[in-house]
Each structure stands twice: as C-alpha cells, then as structure tokens.
Amino acid sequence: MEDLIIKKRPRRYYPEDFSVENRENFENALKNLLNEPVQNKEELLYFLEKWGELSDILEETYAWKYINMTRFMNKKEYQEDFNKFYSEVVSVAMQYEFKLKKKYYDSPARREFTEPEFKHLDTIISNSIEIFREENIPLFVKEHEIANRYGETIAKLTVNFRGEEKTFSQMNVFLKDPDRGTREEAWQKKYEALSKVSADLVKFFDELKEIRALQAKNAGFNNYRDYKHVEKGRFSYTVQDVLNFHEVVKKVVVPFLKERNEIKRQKLGLDSLRPWDTSIDVDNRVLKPFQTIDEFVEKAIKVLGHVDDEFGLNLLRMKASNFLDLENRVGKAPGGYNMGLPEHGSSFIFMNAVGLNSDVRTLLHESGHSLHSKYTADILIHPFKEYPMEVAELASMSMEMFTVDYLFEYYDKPEDLKKAKREQIEGALAFLPWCIAVDGFQHYVYTNDADEKEREEYFVNLMRDLAAGVDWSGLEERLKILWMQQLHIFEVPFYYIEYGFAQLGALAMYKNYKENREKTIKNYKEFLSLGYKRPVPELYKAAGIEFKFSEEYVKDLVDFVKEELKLLD
C-alpha cells in the first residue's frame, strides 16, 4: 500500500521548506521573480518555469485550505483560515500576477518562441492584462467571503422527514421512492426547507450582484455578463453564440425530452408528470449501487480500469493517499468538485454521496477531472495548466460516457444495469434544459436592472418554456426559489454553460468510443496531456471531435442518443 501513496514531487526552484503562508517571504519571492532577467529565450523560459512552480505552491496551499473549509463548514476556524489566506496572500498574488504577465508580454525575447503554444500563451496573457484592474482585487476578496456564506447556509440546511433529520442532499434519495406520496412529500419538504433560508440567499445574491456590477464597470464594461465572457477567455465563441445555443436546446432537445417524458407518464399511469416524478424510472426500480463508501470506491476503481488500467490505478492511488472525501454529512458543503494538488501531480475529490446512481456518475465525472490533473502534472508553464471549463468538463463528462458499458460492476441484475445506462445516456440530454436555465437566468439578471420580483417572474417563465412535459402548475412559489439550489450562481458565476458544450462533446466522444475504443482513448489521453497549450477548438480536435453546437450538430447527437435508447427500452 505504501507504494501507492502519492507523494509531493521535488521542487526545482524553491526550497522544500518555503511556504507562501509567510506573506513577507511570499512577496519577496514575487519581487525576485520581477527582477529575473528575460533578455533571451533561455532566460524567459527559466522565468516562466520558476513562476510556474511558485504558482503550484500557492495553488496547493490554497487547495488544502479550501478543502478543509468545505469539508467542515460547521467549524469556523477553517472558514476564518481560508478567508484570511485569501485576503492576505491570494490578494497579493493577484497584484503581482498582472506585473508578472506584463513582464513576459513586454519581453522582446518572447518572439524567439516559434512553437504554436507560445502564440496561444500570448493570447491568454494579453487578455488577462487588458481586463485586469487593481481596484477589483478587494472586490474579489469580498465576493469570496459572501459566496462562502451561501455554502455555509446550505451546509447547515436540514429537513425533518418522518421523524428523522436529513441533509438537503439526503432528501434526493426519497425522490427515487416507488411510492408517489413519499416522493411528493420529500420534494415539498426539501423546498420548504430552502424557502426558510431564501431571504438570506436573496440578500447574499443582491450583495454579490452589486459587487460584480462594480467589477465590470471598473474594467470598462456596460454589464457583468459581457465582462465575464471576456474575463473567462472565451475566445472561440461570442455571447450571441451562447444565446443561439439556448434556442437550439429549446428547438431540438426539449421536444425530444417531452417525448421521453410522455412515455414515462404513460408507463407510470399518471394523469400528469410532476417534478417529483422526474427522478423515478419508468419501471419504478430504485437503484442501490452500493451500501458503503469503501464498496463505492472499489467498484469505481474496477469500472475505470475497464476503460484503461491507468484510470483505475489513479483512483486507487488517490484512495490510498486519503485524497477522497465522498460521503454526505451534516456540516459539509454542498456539491462536488475535483481540486488540483499540483505539487503532488494529483488532486482531491470531494462529493456528497447518499447511495444513489447519481453518486456513481459524480465519482466517475470527478475521476475524469482527476486524470486531467494527473496528465498535466509535468507542464511547467502555469497558464498551460489553467484550461478553461469547456476543456475541463469535456475530460470529466467523457469519462461518464466511457464508463457506461461497465456499470455492471455496480448492477448485477440486467434490469438495473439497463436502467443505469438509460439514466446516463438520456440524462446527458435531460441536463441541457437546466443548464441553459441557469445560464439564461444569469444573462437576464446581469444585463437588466431587475428587482427580486422581476427575477422570480423571469425564472418561472423560463422554466415553463423548458418544462418538457413536466407539470409545474400550482408550484409557482417553489419555482421562484429553484435557482437558489445551484451553487454556481452564487460561487462561480457564468460557469455552467460549459457543461452544455462539454456534454455535446462527451456524447461525440462516446460515439467515437463505440466505433474505435483504442483510438478514442489514445486521443483522450493526448487531449488531457495538452492542458491549455492550444485554443479550445484545437483541443477538441485533438480529442477527435469538433467544438460546435449548431442545430444540425445537436440534432445528429440527439438521433444518436435515440438509437442508443432503443437498445435499452
């Protein structure tokens, strides 16, 4: 077992006892970097690699503080430690990051680089320089503090259900119950609990919205939406392209899902399909993929190993290194994530498993992210490791699809296996309406001076347009607060549409996988290893697919899904 432990990699430029937590030492290190000579290609490369190692040290320190905070949201000391580190150390890094990027960009030696990735590096860094405003740094710090209050509030949220206290996440188990009365009661109780904190969440969101509007104004933008599009480095598509994609989903995907929901309604023998009926399968089977967390992980290792031996070994080593926190519990932040640990060349997976099939999908999804961290570990120039989310989510969502055919490790009954595969394949498209609802809501909020009531009305109408045959009548009060369960809106604004683009890419990857498994996995590894050395469309091309989301392209993928589902229905 000792051989499986992931150890810190030796540093090349800084002593092993150097710590960024000492603000004075950290700032001296940044000043020294600014004084490094960059008169020729060799000196400039040395500067970039030394800066990259310092960035790795900072990132890993940040990672552990964030991990501890989200694992124990009920312990104030972790929140205080994280907030202190962010305000005193990360804020200093932000100030110097602009100067360091400008040092690279102003160096005539950068023109000596002829490799394609350095042309792309110029694009990344020039964008960062143009949008940076020093006056936004304290606003970023304040934004983080308020967003953390959202996580703290949701982490503390519990529901008294039939005499037992359950977390918000644990209530999802009952939405799979064959008894419709249980499902409805659980759904209503869940959103009743959310409604009790909705006033606090509205307050947090209004504060965040005000801060974000000021960030955009400081950077010379008319609204936060347009600012964020540029700030996120979305070089390959425009805001209008995103809005067009919203319409494609409404035109192509929603009718398909409406057909699927009508089949479900008829098979369940219901007059109408209500929100608490959407998680149950047509045969009313409740999937129970695992009983314990150890079983959960061991089976995931086997599933990943069927795709590629390296993939299973990666999760096994993470388990041996205690780089996993998977079970749901009171006091733990909501959601799930993969947090890179660059000094280890690995990552940490955090999630809230409660025993559902969706937990299996989440772990396999995050395992895809963890492989991205592993395969980019040897990249020394930091901007090449900071791939955008359209790229990151392709890594994770493709892994969800690659593993579909190996879910027999969790389900030995043929009917259960079919149901699990059906959930995954159909779910790839079923997710898209919610994806564009979250994104569309933010487009509206950040480009209109709308009050709370107008926001609610917009979201209700948006959800009705995307209902796909689900009956929301009489549930308007619940609909008004539904968006509040999506942590991205509070914590990472406008990070969500990437899931939609990547979901299309993952379906295309799965199509390729079924046609030529070895070539697809080879392409996948190449894609992972590139990090962000190429623009997004070129990275998708390396993966063997196209970066597109036109009506014709989406229709082709919907047709592919239809054919796959015929084999499972």
Question: What is the predicted pLDDT for the residue at 1?
Answer: 63
* % pLDDT > 70, the chain: 99
- How far is the CA of 25 from the CAs of 19, 394, 439, in angstroms? 8, 38, 41
Angle between helices 357-375 and 517-530 (to 10 degrees): 60
Euclidean distance between CA atoms 303 and 410, whole angstroms: 9
CB-CB contact of 154 with 105 (8 Å):
no
Q: Parallel, antiparallel, or unpaired for β 324-327 and 346-353? A: parallel
Q: How many CB atoms lie within 10 A of CB 348?
A: 24
Angle (CA) 292-294-300 rounded to 5° is: 105
Residue 239 pLDDT class (50, 70, 90 cuts): very high
Domain boundaries, the chain: 9-114, 154-285+428-491, 293-425+498-533
Question: What is the predicted pLDDT for the residue at 380?
Answer: 95
pLDDT single digits (tens) 323-339? 999 999 888 988 899 99
Burial of 131-143, coded b for 16+ CB within 10 Å and e otherwise, reads bbeeebbebbbeb
Say which amino acid occupies 205: F
Q: Spell out the residues 6+ positions from residue 439 whose beta carbon is closer than 8 angstroms to its own.
A: 242, 246, 494, 496, 497, 500
Pick the CATH number of 154-285+428-491 from 3.10.440.10, 3.40.640.10, 3.40.50.720, 1.10.1370.10: 1.10.1370.10
Query: Most distant CA pair in the chain: distance in Å?
Result: 75
- Measuring CA to CA, which residue among 274, 284, 306, 554 is closest to residue 432? 554
Average pLDDT over the chain reads: 94
pLDDT single digits (tens) 285-322? 778 999 999 999 999 999 999 999 999 999 999 999 99
pLDDT single digits (tens) 160-184? 998 889 888 888 889 888 899 999 9
Mean pLDDT of 186-204: 93
Q: Answer whether 0.75 is exceeded by the pTM.
A: yes
Euclidean distance between CA atoms 512 and 506, whole angstroms: 10
Q: Where are the alpha helices (DSSP H) in 403-544?
A: 414-447, 452-465, 476-481, 487-491, 497-515, 517-530, 536-542
Q: Do domains 154-285+428-491 and 293-425+498-533 have the same CATH topology?
A: yes
Domain 293-425+498-533 = CATH 1.10.1370.40? yes
CB-CB contact of 544 with 519 (8 Å):
yes
Say which amino acid occupies 136: N
Burial of 85-104, coded b for 16+ CB within 10 Å and e otherwise, reads bbbebbebbbebbbebbbbb
